[in-house]
Amino acid sequence: MDIWLPENVSTFGQGVDNLFILIYWITLIAFILVTATLIAFLILYRHRPGHKATYIEGSTKLEITWTTATTVIVFGLALLSYPQWNRIKSPTELPPADVVVEVSAKQFNWDMTYPGPDGEFDTEDDLQLENQLHVPVDKIVHIRLTSVDVIHSFFVPNLRLKQDTLPNRFITVWFEATKPGRFEIPCAELCGFQHSGMLGYLTVHSQADYDAWKAERWPPQ
């Protein structure tokens, strides 16, 4: 059984995973060092008859050392995260869209609205599907997220993408899938009694498949 991150299929996902793995190693090493020190101290300085504890009140030099070291590490991590975060979430760095889909969350479904052949929303040829998100591979997809009732959260584990949806507000997120396949879109924010089981599917098509799907589902009427 796989007990690590699920397969990543988005262009920015690797950046998230790299940061995750970096933090994993930093925290693992920190944990091992601290725990090893702790255990060593517990063994070395256990109470033995005749031995007395040494009176040490502290050490300013050490305090400064570990304060600086921790500050440097956490600041370094913060610096590494800025570009990744902005790339995924910043509205100013949003890459231009090849495909736009409107996703409206409601208790307990994802309503996916496609603009239809005219490329415009709120026109007659819009296509509405429940829980089925179809996108082409290697294309930049914009998802305009909203909700009709409470807060939900659009979560695609394989894309490393998560964004809460808010009623009466549109939030645009983007992704570019790197591999065709079918992936799950659970709701990640408690949204009511059937929150568990609120589930959509993302189907990433190869360009040819996508065109075929479009031809079938977006017939010019």
Residue closer to another protein by CB (options 67, 128) is: 67
**SS3 sequence, 135-173?**
EECCCEEEEEEEECCCCEEEEEHHHCEEEEECECCCEEE
Measured distance CA(139)–CA(136) in Å, rounded = 6
What is the smallest separation between the CB atom of 188 and another protein, expressed in angstroms?
A: 4
What is the smallest separation between the CB atom of 67 and another protein, expressed in angstroms?
A: 6
CB distance 165 to 110 below 8 Å: no
Q: Is 128 one of the binding residues for another protein (CB under 8 A)?
A: no
What is the smallest separation between the CB atom of 211 and another protein, expressed in angstroms?
A: 27
Q: Which of 97, 99, 127, 150 binds another protein (CB under 8 A)?
A: 150
Neighbouring CB atoms inside 10 A of 94's CB total 14
Q: Which of 127, 171, 180, 218 binds another protein (CB under 8 A)?
A: 171
Q: Is 48 one of the binding residues for another protein (CB under 8 A)?
A: yes
Q: Is 124 helix (H, G, I), strand (E, B) or coil?
A: coil
Q: Which of 99, 127, 129, 166 binds another protein (CB under 8 A)?
A: 166
With a CB cutoff of 8 Å and minimum separation 6, the contacts of 151 are 164, 165, 166, 167, 189, 191
Q: Is 27 one of the binding residues for another protein (CB under 8 A)?
A: yes
Q: Which of 96, 168, 208, 221 binds another protein (CB under 8 A)?
A: 168
- 70: nearest Cα among 9, 35, 27: 27
Q: Which of residues 66-85 bind another protein (CB under 8 A)?
A: 66-67, 70-71, 74-75, 77-78, 81-82, 84-85
What is the smallest separation between the CB atom of 37 and another protein, expressed in angstroms?
A: 6
Measured distance CA(46)–CA(27) in Å, rounded = 28
CB distance 90 to 109 below 8 Å: no
Residue closer to another protein by CB (options 16, 204) is: 16
Lay out the site mask for another protein across 175-214 (x = CB under 8 A, - = otherwise).
---------x-xxxxxxxxxxxx-x---------------
Neighbouring CB atoms inside 10 A of 64's CB total 10
Residue closer to another protein by CB (options 26, 129) is: 26
- 143: nearest Cα among 95, 103, 93: 103
Q: Is 220 one of the binding residues for another protein (CB under 8 A)?
A: no
**Interface stretch with another protein, choices 29-37, 96-104, 128-136, 209-217 (CB under 8 A):** 29-37
